[in-house]
Structure 1
C-alpha cells in the first residue's frame, strides 16, 4: 500500500515537473540573438526620424502637457488607464540611467519586435510591440539612431499599478502564445507597391490597429474585426471604424484620407479631434507618398 502511494506520488510529481517545464517553454521570453542584429550597417537617423513620426513616439513618451520642441524630450510619465490597471509610460530618452542611453541595438530591437526588456523579462503590450514586430530591422536600427540624437531626461516614471494576476509578467508569455505574431493582419489580393507600403505603415510602425480594433477579454484583437472600431481603452467614447464600411470615413476617397492626415481637416471642413490630434500631427511629418499609401491601404482592407 505504501509503495503504491509512493509510486502515485512520484508520478504526480513527474507530471507536475513536465507540466511546469512545458509551461516555461511556452511562456519564457524569446529574444532574437545578438547575431540577428549584427551586420545591419550604419544606421540612417534621417529615415529614423520618419519612423519616429510614424510610430507617434511623442504621443506617449513625451512628458504630459509638453508642447513644441519640449515634446522631443521623451521623459515618459504618461499614465495609461486600462481594464487591467494603469500603465506608466517609461523614459526612452538617451539618458544612460533613466532612459535607453545604455541599451544596445539588440536590447532595443528585442523590446520593439519581441516585447522583451533589457533585463530579459516580458514587456506589457501597452507598449505596442505586437504591431512593431512587423517592422523591418533597418527601420528599428534607424529609429534607435535617431532617438540617440534627442535630449536626455533623468525622469524616472513610477511603476505600473496592476492588480493580481496582471502584475505577474511570466503570464505574458501565455498572452504572447495566444496573440503575438509578425504576420500580416489581413491578406490583400492583387495589392500593388503603394498598398503594400501602406500596409507596412498601418500594421507596423503606425500601429493603427492598437486603438481601432476591438479586443477580447484577454486584450487580444478580435478575429475578423481589423480596424472596425473599438471602445476607447481609457473608457471614454469610442474609437471609430476606419474600414471602407465605416460610417465616418467609408465614403471618403483616397485623396480625402491623405488630405485629412496632412491638414487635420475632413472633406466637410470639420477638424480632427480627441486623441487623433496627436496622430494626425505626427503623420503630417511624413512624405506625401506615405500618407497616400496609408490612404490606399485603408481603402483596400475588407469592410466590417
Structure 2
C-alpha cells in the first residue's frame, strides 16, 4: 500500500528551519559581534560591538608616546548616539602586568559628551626610565535614555625628561658625580677614560669612551659603566643632548697632572672624539 505524505507534513520541518534561521539572522543583526562594548536602552536591548570606529561610543588612541611629567591626550571618545551623554565616568589604571616603575600622576577626562562631540582623556605619567606602559581605560556613560560601558587597553612608551646637567664633581681621578636638576630623570652621558698614570711626567696611555644611555645623576658614575673600569681614570663626561662636557680639572690633554678632586671644567662643542679629547687641556699654565 502506498501511503501519501501530506504537504503539511513535508513543509513542517522546512518551515521550522526557516523560522530558526530567520531568528538567528535577526539576532545577529541586533547583537552583532561579541566584544567589550555594551549598550543598553530603556527597552532593555543590549548591543555588543567591536568596531570602535563605528561604535555608538567611538574610541581612538591619540598618542603612542608620552614624556615624564607632561599632560598628554592619550585616547579620545566620540558620542555617536542620537542624544547627549550627560554623565561620563572614565577610570585609568596601569594593567597588573604592566610597568613596575611608572605611575599615573593625574588624569583629566571629560565629564559629559554632547551628541556628535569628541573629547580626549589627558594623562600625566611619571617614569624614571624609558618603558612601555599598558594603560587600561574603562568608561561608563549615560544620558538620553541610553547607557554605555567600554573597556580598552592602550600601551604607550613613557620617556623620562632629561635632567639639566649643571656640573660634574670629580672625586680624584677614580670617580665622578653628576650634578643635575630633577630627582627622577636620567641623562645620556659619554664617559671618557684613560689608563694613563697621573703626574706631570706620566705616560699618555690609551683612551676610550663608553656611552651610558640612562645615567642616574643621584649615583656615582663609575658603578654605572658596563665594563670594568677599575684600572682606568675618568678624563671627562660629555652630555650630547645638552652639547656640553665637563673635564677632570687636572686633565692636560695627555694625562692627569694631579689626581685632585673638584668641579669639572665645562667645555662646549660635543660630541667629542678621541682627537678632541687629546687636544683639550683644562690645566692653567703655571
TM range (shorter): under 0.3
TM-score of the superposed pair, with normalisation by structure 1 = 0.19
Please tell me whether Structure 1 or Structure 2 has the larger radius of gyration of its CA atoms.
Answer: 2
Greater percentage in strand: 2
Between the two structures, name the one with larger relative contact order (CA 8 Å, sep ≥ 6): 1
Q: TM-score, normalised by structure 2?
A: 0.20
